[in-house]
Amino acid sequence: MRILFVCLGNICRSPTAEAVLRHKLRELGLEGVEVDSAGTGDWHVGKPPDSRTRQAAQLRGYDLSALRGRQVCVSDFRRFDLILAMDNSNLEQLRRMRPGDAMAELDLFLRRYDLAPVEVPDPYYGGEEGFQQVLDLLEQACDGLLRELRGRL
Ligand code: 4NP
């Protein structure tokens, strides 16, 4: 099972989702799940996650230090089973890129697990509370994803 999280810059929301899911998988001893993240934009390719994102995540025990930004590419649609977008704009962009022979299922991460709001708000231009909200939402959504994975693995 291969899961890709996608946001705009790949320095705030999707790397956080990647780190949270990895952490929870390890805690549960669930193996056989590959997790990655990418951005629809290319501004932060090769860069570490945003320092505010890293700090907020670290305070909850998630380590993002090894992650580096990358841009989503057409081969991702063949490599991953499930591609989960953080907001509707990311999802729309992914739908436009999707090749005819795509294997991956595409979905909006929070909506898939019946959470509200259905989008993870972009915290980049906001204050500290935005980074906390991202973590709160992604922790809940990862719990939903883990329930699904337990059923599928
Ligand atoms: P992300 O946040 O999509 O959650 O990584 C953003 C990061 C950077 C920018 C926008 C959103 N930016 O405009 O550079």
Domain extents for the chain? Answer: 2-152
Q: What is the pTM of this model?
A: 0.98
Which value, to the nearest 10 degrees, does the dihedral of the CA atoms of residues 90, 1, 141, 75 take?
A: -10
Q: Which atom of ligand 1 is nearest to the CA of 69?
A: 5
Mean pLDDT of each 10-residue bin along the chain, 153 residues long: 98 98 96 97 98 98 97 98 98 98 97 98 96 98 97 80
Calculate how far, in angstroms, residue 104's C-alpha sits from the geometric centre of ligand 1: 24
pLDDT of residue 152: 81
Q: Which two tokens stand for residue 140?
A: 């809940």
Calculate how far, in angstroms, residue 36's C-alpha sits from the geometric centre of ligand 1: 17
pLDDT of residue 34: 98
pLDDT of residue 153: 74
> Measuring from atom 12 of ligand 1, which residue has the nearest CA?
9
pLDDT of residue 68: 98
pLDDT of residue 65: 96
- Establish whether 81 is a catalytic residue: no
Burial 84-115 (b: 16+ CB within 10 A, else e): bbbbeebbebbeeeeeeebebebebbbbbbeb
pLDDT of residue 135: 98
Residue positions counted in the chain: 153
Q: Give the HSE-up count for residue 144: Cα atoms under 13 Å, Cβ half-sphere.
A: 17
Q: Which fold, 2-152?
A: Rossmann fold (3.40.50)
